[in-house]
Amino acid sequence: MNWAAVLREVVTWHAMAALIGGTLAGLFVGALPGIGPAVGISLLLPLSYFLPVGDALLFYVSLYQAAEYGGSITAIAIRTPGAPNSAAMILDGYPLNQKGQGGKAFAYSLWAAIFASYVGIAGLFLLSQPISGAALALGPAGFAALGLFGLTAVATLSIGSPLKGVIAGLFGLLLSTIGTDLITNVQRFTFHQPALYDGVPLIAVLVGVFALPEAIRLLTSQEQVEKPPLSHAQYRVWLHWPEFRAVFGSMSMGTVLGFLMGLLPGVAGTVPPWITYNIAKAMSRHPERFGSGEPEGIVAPEATNAAVMHSTLIPAFTLGIPGTPTSAVILGAMVIGGLHPGPLLFAKSPDVVYELFCGLLISTAALWVIGLLTTQLWARMSAIPKKPLAIAIISLCITGVFVSRGNPVDIWICFVFGALGYSMDRYGFPVAALVLGLILGSITETNMRQALLISSGSPLIFLQDPISLTFLLLSALAVWGGFWLRTRVLKRAAALASHVASGMDGA
Amino acid sequence: MSGRLTGERCVYVLFALCGLFAVIMSGSFDAGFGPGAAFVPKIFGALCCVFGAIGALAPGGGAQARIAARELGLIAGGFALYGLFFAALGFFWDAVALALFLTLTFVPTRRRWIVLALEILFVLVLYAVFTQLFQVQFPRGLL
C-alpha cells in the first residue's frame, strides 16, 4: 500500500470539503428529530453521481459519524432524540442540562463520541484487511451462504417479529431479480419497460423507503417539540482532565462492547446503547445517581453509538453485509460509484478504502472542533418547524431521484416504494432487511447458481463446502438467536426504555 | 384468524401475493428448476408467499392497527396530485406545484406565506445547484 499516495489524496481540497461538508450535514440531520443519518444519506445519494467515489464515500461516512453526536444534542437539549439510538442519552443528559450544566452534558457526549470514534477507526485499520483476506478463500457456495447468513441475521436479530424480518428480506431478494439476468440475458419482471432493464433504480428505492416515509410522518405529526434553552452559558462545551478521567472506565466499556456488538449484523442499532447503559449503572459506585444527571450514564451509551457506527463498516466493507440501515445505504452508494463491497473490495480498490479510513481520522478531529464551537446552533435547529421541513424533503426527493438517471419513471418508482416503506415501518416490517435483500440479492443469486452449476445441480455442495456449512449453521443460529433475543434481551431493553420514558413524562 | 382487516394483514397479503406472482411469472423465464433465470424467483417467491400467508392468517398478535383512511388518502392523493401536475406542467414545475400545494394544505395560516416564499427560494436553489453546478438538463427549463 502506497501510504504517501493515500495521504496525498486525503489532504486535497475536495476531500477536505467532503469530510467537513459531511460533518456539518451529519450534525444537521442528526439534530433534527425524526430525520437521522439513513434518511440524510439517502436524500443526498444523487451526489454520488457527480462526485468522485472516494469523496462521496468520505462525505457519507463523515455524515454518519457526525449524526450520532447530532442525535445526542437534541436528546440533551430538549429530551427528544434526534435518532432512535440516541434515546438512552435522555436518561442522564437531559437531567444534567436541567440542572444548568448543559455544556457539561454536551461535553461528556462529544468527548465520548470522539474517543470511541478513534478506537473504532483503529479497529477498521487493524481488522478490515485480515477479515477481507480470509473472505477471499470463499468459493461460490461460501459466498452464497454468506449472503444468506447476512440476510438472515439482519432479518431475525433486529427488533420486531423475525417473521416480518424474513418476509422483508425475501421481498428484497425478489426485487433484486427484476431486470436482465446476467447469466442467461432473460428479461425478468420488466414488463417491457426500459426503465427496469437494469433492475430497480437503487437511488429511487433507497430515497423512497427511507426519506419519503419520514417526510409523510413529519407532515402529519401533531407532536409539539420543546424549544431549547437560549442561555449561551449552557452550551460551553468543555471537559477538564479530572472529569474525563472519572468517566474513562464507563467510556471504555461502552466503546469495547459497542465495537463488538457492531460487528454482528442485526444486533447493531437501538439496542447496544441500552445494554451498556445498564452495565455502566451496575458497575458504578453510585448507581442511585443514574437517571438524575450522572456523567457515566451519558458517556457509556454515546461511546457505544460511536463505536457501533465504525464497527458496522467492517462487515459491510469486507463481507458486503451491512449491520445497520445506514451502512446499507452507504453500500448502495458504493455500488452506484462502481465499487463492489465484499472480499474483493480490498483487492481491487484498496486505495479508496484506505483513503476513507485516513479521512475519518481527520473528520473525527473536525467533528470535535465543530462540536465544541457550534453545539448551540444545532440545538436551536431542532426547533425548525417540521411541516415546512417535510415539504422541503419531498421536493429534494423528487428532484434528487430525477437527476440520478434523468428518467421521470424513477420518481414514480420512488413514490411506490415510499408508500411501501411507510406501510412497512408503520406495521413493524424492517426496511433494512428489504434493502439488504435488494443489495445482496444479485451476488447471492449469482454465486448460488454458479455453485449449482459446479455441482451439476446437486444442492449438497452447500453442505459439503465447510465454509458454506459454517455460514448455514450460523444462519440457523441467527434464527434461534432472534427468537431468544426477542423474548429476553430486547423485551427487557424495550421495557426499560418505556418505563423510563413514562417516568420522565410524569416528572 | 380474527377476521379483522388490519393494515398489518394487508401488508402480509401484499407480500404473499407478490411472492405468488413471482412464482407464476417466473414459469415463463426458462424450463425446470435448474439454476436458470427462474431459480431464485421461484424459490424465494414461494417462501415469500408461504410466510406472507402465515402472517396474514395468524390469529391476532402484533399491531392490530386499523387501516388509517386518512393516511391512505394522503398517500393516494399525493400520487394523484403529482400525476396531474406532471401531466400539466412537466418535470420540475410539477415538483414546485406539489410543494406549494402541500404548503397551502398543511402549514398553519399565519406562517403560510413566509413558508411559501422560503419553499420557492429552496426549489430555485435546487434548480440552480443541479443545472449550474452539476450540469443537469431538466426537460423543461425554468423559463
What's the maximum distance between 2 C-alpha atoms anywhere in chain A?
73
Percent of chain A beyond pLDDT 90? 24
Q: Which residues of chain B lie closer than 8 angstroms to A188, CB-CB? A: 26, 29, 37, 41
Question: Considering only CB atoms, which chain B residues are within 8 Å of A427?
Answer: 7-8, 11, 62-63, 65
* Closest-approach residue (CA) in chain B for A442: B40
CB contact under 8 Å between B39 and A415, yes or no, is no
Return d(Cα A267, Cα A482) in angstroms, integer.
10
Residues 6 or more apart whose Cβ sits within 8 Å of residue A318: A128, A131, A132, A135, A342, A343, A345, A346
More confident residue, B89 or A410: A410
> Stretch B108-135: mean pLDDT, rounded?
79
Among A420, A427, A486, most B C-beta atoms within 10 A, so best to mutate, is A427
Q: How far apart (Å, rounded) are the C-alpha atoms in residues A253 and A249?
A: 6
Bigger pLDDT: B77 or A365?
A: A365
Count CB-CB contacts under 10 A for residue B132: 9
Band of pLDDT at residue B62, cut at 50, 70 and 90: very low
- Res B142: pLDDT: 45
- DSSP-derived letter for residue A460 is T
In terms of CA atoms, which chain A residue is nearest residue B41?
A174
Question: What pLDDT score does B143 carry?
Answer: 41
Write the residue in B41, B82, B138 that is nearest to A188 by C-beta: B41
**Complete DSSP assignment for A338-365:** T---STTHHHH-HHHHHHHHHHHHHHHH
Is pLDDT larger for residue A330 or for residue B138? A330
B75 contacts A219? CB cut-off 8 A: no
Question: Over pLDDT 70: what percentage of chain B?
Answer: 78
Q: What residue type is A236 in one-letter code?
A: R
Whole-angstrom distance, CA of residue A338 vs CA of residue A326: 19
Range A181-220 burial, b when 16+ CB lie within 10 A, else e: beeeebbbbbeeeebbeebbbbbbbbbbbbbbbbbbbbbe
What confidence score (pLDDT) does residue A227 get? 59
Is residue A233 predicted with pLDDT exceeding 60? no
How far does A116 lie from chain B, in Å, by closest CA? 36
Contact residues, chain A, for B62 at CB < 8 Å: 161, 427-428
Q: Which three cell numbers stand for residue A265?
A: 449484523
In this prediction, residue A417 has a pLDDT band, given cuts at 50, 70 and 90, of: very high
State how far the alpha carbon of A122 is from the alpha carbons of A17, A118, A149, A314, A351, in Å: 23, 6, 26, 11, 17
Mean pLDDT for B26-50 is: 81
Asked if B47 and A441 come within 8 Å (Cβ–Cβ), the reply is no
pLDDT band at A505 (very low <50, low <70, confident <90, very high): very low
Given a cut of 60, whether residue B32 has pLDDT beyond it is no
User: In terms of pLDDT, which residue wins out, A227 or B142?
Assistant: A227
Reported ipTM: the value is 0.85
User: Strand pairing partners for A187?
Assistant: A180
Say what the pLDDT of residue A255 is: 95
**Of residues A383 and A52, which shows the higher confidence score?**
A52
Q: Tell me which range, A121-125, A318-322, B83-87, is most confidently predicted by mean pLDDT.
A: A121-125
Decide which of B71 and A140 is more confident: A140
Tens digits of residue pLDDT in A375-385: 878 777 767 78
Cβ-Cβ contacts under 8 Å, B7 against chain A? 423, 426-427
Instruction: Note the pLDDT of residue B59.
Output: 67
Question: Which stretch, A105-119, A208-222, B128-142, has highest mean pLDDT?
Answer: A105-119
pLDDT (0 to 100) of residue B4: 58
A427 with B63: Cβ contact below 8 A: yes
The reply to whether residue B35 touches residue A429, judged by beta carbons under 8 angstroms, is no
Confidence of residue B69 (pLDDT cuts 50, 70, 90): low
**Can you state the angle between helices A431-454 and A140-157, rounded to 10 degrees?**
160
* B8 neighbourhood in chain A, CB within 8 Å: 427-428
Q: Write the secondary structure of A254-292 as one string of H (helix), E (strand) and C (coil).
A: HHHHHHHHHCCCCCCCCHHHHHHHHHHHHHCCCHHHCCC
Say what the pLDDT of residue A370 is.
92
Quote the minimal CA–CA distance from A417 to chain B in Å.
Answer: 11
Asked if the Cβ–Cβ distance from A167 to B95 is below 8 Å, we say no
Mean pLDDT of chain A: 84
Q: Quick one: pLDDT band at residue A45, thresholds 50, 70, 90? A: confident
Q: What is the pLDDT of residues A308-321, one digit of tens each?
A: 999 999 988 888 88
Confidence of residue A405 (pLDDT cuts 50, 70, 90): confident
Partner residue opposite B126 with nearest CB, options A167, A399, A426: A399
pLDDT confidence of residue A63: 94
% pLDDT > 70, chain A: 89
The answer to whether the Cβ–Cβ distance between A406 and B35 falls below 8 Å is: no
Give pTM, 2 decimals: 0.81
Nearest CA in chain A to B33: A457
Closest CA to A306 of A13, A28, A89, A7: A89
Kindly state the average pLDDT of the residues B91-107.
Answer: 82
B8–A427 C-beta distance less than 8 A: yes
The Cβ of residue A281 has, within 10 Å, a number of other Cβ atoms equal to 21
Q: Would you call B48 and A403 a contact, using CB atoms and an 8 Å cutoff?
A: no
pLDDT at B46: 92
C-alpha separations of A15 from A53, A259, A335, B49, B128 in Å? 11, 27, 20, 47, 23
User: A-chain residues within 8 Å CB-CB of B19?
Assistant: 170-171, 174
Can you tell me the mean pLDDT for A282-287?
86
> Is B71 close to A387, i.e. CB distance below 8 A?
no
What span, in angstroms and rounded, lies between the C-alpha atoms of B80 and B86? Answer: 10
- C-alpha A398/C-alpha B89 separation (Å) is 15
What pLDDT shows up at residue A504? Answer: 44
Q: Provide the pLDDT for residue A288.
A: 85
| A184·B71 Cβ contact <8 A | no
Mean pLDDT of the A29-46 span: 84
Q: How confident is the model at residue A256 (pLDDT cuts 50, 70, 90)?
A: very high
Write the pLDDT tens digit of every residue in A434-469: 888 888 888 888 888 888 888 888 888 888 888 889
Question: In this predicted model, what pLDDT tens digit does every residue of A333-375 receive, in sequence order?
Answer: 888 888 888 877 888 888 888 899 999 999 999 999 999 888 8
Cβ-contact B78, B62 below 8 angstroms: no
pLDDT of residue A11: 85
Torsion, Cα A63 A65 A67 A72, to 10 degrees, reads -160
> Model confidence over A151-209: pLDDT tens digits?
777 777 665 677 888 899 899 999 999 998 877 888 899 888 888 888 898 888 988 88
CB contact under 8 A, A391 and B86: no
The nearest alpha carbon in chain A to B14 belongs to A420
